[in-house]
Structure 1
Amino acid sequence: MDRIGNLETIKFDVMGRCAEDSDFHGIRTLLSSQLLPHTDVDVSNLTDLIIEQNYVGSVIVEDCDTMPGADDDDDDDDTLEEITLLGVTTAVSLAERERFPCVKQLKELLLTLAEKHGRNDALIANLLAEKPCKLGLLINERFVNIPQTIAPPIFFNLKKELQSAVNKKMPFAFTYFVLIAKINKVEIENEVLDEWVNEEEEFLKGKTEYEFEFPLQAENESSIEEEMKQCGQVPYRRVMIFPAHVFEHLIDTLRAGQ
């Protein structure tokens, strides 16, 4: 434990593992507050889907072995119960399924956003209309205090799990991915700059086949969004569609930079 001024900074490591039923609340909170705020997508249903397909993707949690008091055997059970979910990275097929109406809702949302904010929505419309749909939604959400260094191993693991699923004839042979990236617009010296919340996603810049962005606006803004705007940061979402091989190149680039 370090002390900075009058504040104590607690250091701990994080790790990735398969999603479990006990992660439901944490995943749902991340999706509703970061990926899909102010939308009609059934986030609970999407969370159920992520947990059901836990053989693909990872959740990011605190590493119990590095947490303060981890050596205290008497507190093991309490420590496990208090583990905080810090992120989730996975890929969801946008092929519709009866048990998961969230997939149809996601497709409708993407089409609506493209029509409203995009210049040419033909590509996304064609990809979503393809049967079977081979467009995968890449979900990459974590709290802002979790460093970008977690991304290379998490992405590499996702790549291996997707290939394993494809080898078992599961519907994860994606030709394209769609990612909803979080960007803050910051004005510095009369110039508006993009600040990528997840730094690794900036590597996709210039490599997409279709993208558009839109500001987060709602009648009832969250306190965080309101505070960000007061500080000169306007939260945006950028929808980015890119071929599957670009995702593999992203992983190689990130791992080479480690």
Structure 2
Amino acid sequence: MPRSSKKRKPNKEPEPSSSSDDSNNSEEEEEELDQHENIQIDLEARTPIDTDHSAILYFLEQSFGSTLKKSILDLNLLATQLINQQSIGSVFYQPVDEADDDDDDESPVLGICSFLRFYQQQNKQVATWLLDKCSDNEQAKAILQTSKCGLFINERYMNIPVDISLPAIRTLRTEISYEIDYWIIHAKLRLDKNNSNTIYYINGEDEIFQNHSTLFIDYTPTQSNNNEWTEKRRIIFVSTNKLDQICSDIEHKLKQ
């Protein structure tokens, strides 16, 4: 579980994760992780720092895809923006035993929980990308064009337990000092090819966000199919006045 306080402990430069080979193997890696149960480890949270860039970029590529053109959505720039915010967002890592003098020990980033606000004038590329994905939905376009919105970034390795989500979301809410009308969640889903009613949320808490959403829109990412599952992405619009109930529902689910 992440602890309530943030630390500025730096971690070593992670191995580059955005190479073409890694991108091509991302689905295979996720399939392999699916075969393992959630691991139980002690996690800590801290503010993102420059050496987290490669890890954050990896998580963004898992969510949005590694084949996006920079002219459409520059994930490298998005990772930089998440780091430069300083006072908003956390990355999660497993702390290294300080008594261990092994210089090779690292504290790799295992997840990120952050928020990127945008208006038409601020982070315009994100707003433009969302407007394109929501072009057939008048209500979604109206929200994006007239309301104060932000993109909720909530990514982690698949076998990191959902338990980290609740304290991370609660901490994030206290860090957001500006007015926001809607949180926009970019959820990763899998649909069973043999039963279209079977939907698996990669992050289980995203289903709770959807249950309290104003609307949601699905789209299919590139290279989305394998033998058993069809990959989907779901853009979920959630009014900020629903967040208290969402946190309560996540807490209830974790106690089950």
Q: Same fold (TM over 0.5)?
A: yes
TM-score (norm 2): 0.76
Letter matched to residue 18 of structure 1: T
Letter matched to residue 198 of structure 1: N
1:33 corresponds to which residue? 62
Render the CA deviation track for 1:64-109: whole Å, top value 9, x for unaligned.
24xxxx632x21x432xx22111111111112567xxxx2221111
Q: CA deviation at 1:191?
A: 4.6
Q: In the alignment, is the contact (CA less than 8 A) between 2:183 and 2:237 conserved in 1?
A: yes
1:15-30 pair list within 5 angstroms? 15-30=44-59
Select which of 88, 112, 115 maps to 2:132.
Answer: 112
RMSD of equivalent CA atoms: 2.3
Q: In the alignment, is the contact (CA less than 8 A) between 2:209 and 2:246 conserved in 1?
A: yes
Percent pairwise identity: 24
1:3-18 pair list within 5 angstroms? 12-18=41-47
- Which entry has the higher C-alpha Rg, 1 or 2? 1
1:126 corresponds to which residue? 142
Structure 2 unpaired stretches of 5+: 1-38
Matched, 1:236 2:242: no
Letter matched to residue 196 of structure 1: Y
In structure 1, distance between residues paired with 2:127 and 2:60:
16
Q: In the alignment, is the contact (CA less than 8 A) between 2:63 and 2:186 conserved in 1?
A: no
Letter matched to residue 191 of structure 2: K
Q: In the alignment, is the contact (CA less than 8 A) between 1:55 and 1:161 conserved in 2?
A: yes
Matched, 1:48 2:80: yes
1:5 corresponds to which residue? none
After superposition, the Cα gap between the structure-2 partners of 1:157 and 1:111, relative to the gap in structure 1 and judged at 3 Å, is same
- Partner of 1:64, secondary structure, is coil
In structure 2, distance between residues paired with 1:191 and 1:51:
38
Q: In the alignment, is the contact (CA less than 8 A) between 1:35 and 1:141 conserved in 2?
A: no
Q: CA deviation at 1:140?
A: 0.6
After superposition, the Cα gap between the structure-2 partners of 1:13 and 1:111, relative to the gap in structure 1 and judged at 3 Å, is same
Letter matched to residue 47 of structure 1: A
Matched, 1:150 2:164: yes
1:1-258 pair list within 5 angstroms? 12-39=41-68, 40-65=72-97, 71-72=99-100, 74-75=101-102, 77-79=103-105, 82-95=106-119, 103-115=123-135, 118=136, 120=137, 122-130=138-146, 134-162=148-176, 166=177, 172-188=178-194, 190-217=195-222, 221=223, 229-230=226-227, 232-256=228-252, 257-258=254-255
After superposition, the Cα gap between the structure-2 partners of 1:154 and 1:178, relative to the gap in structure 1 and judged at 3 Å, is same
In structure 2, distance between residues paired with 1:17 and 1:52:
14
Instruction: Name the structure with the higher helix share.
Output: 1
Render the CA deviation track for 1:9-48: whole Å, top value 9, x for unaligned.
x964222211111101100111023234433311111111
Structure 1 unpaired stretches of 5+: 1-9, 167-171
Letter matched to residue 173 of structure 2: K
Q: In the alignment, is the contact (CA less than 8 A) between 2:120 and 2:145 conserved in 1?
A: no
Letter matched to residue 209 of structure 1: T
- Partner of 2:211, secondary structure, is coil
In structure 1, distance between residues paired with 2:65 and 2:85:
20
1:7 corresponds to which residue? none
* Length, aligned pairs only: 214
Q: In the alignment, is the contact (CA less than 8 A) between 1:159 and 1:248 conserved in 2?
A: no
TM-score (norm 1): 0.75
Q: In the alignment, is the contact (CA less than 8 A) between 2:152 and 2:183 conserved in 1?
A: yes
In structure 1, distance between residues paired with 2:132 and 2:161:
33
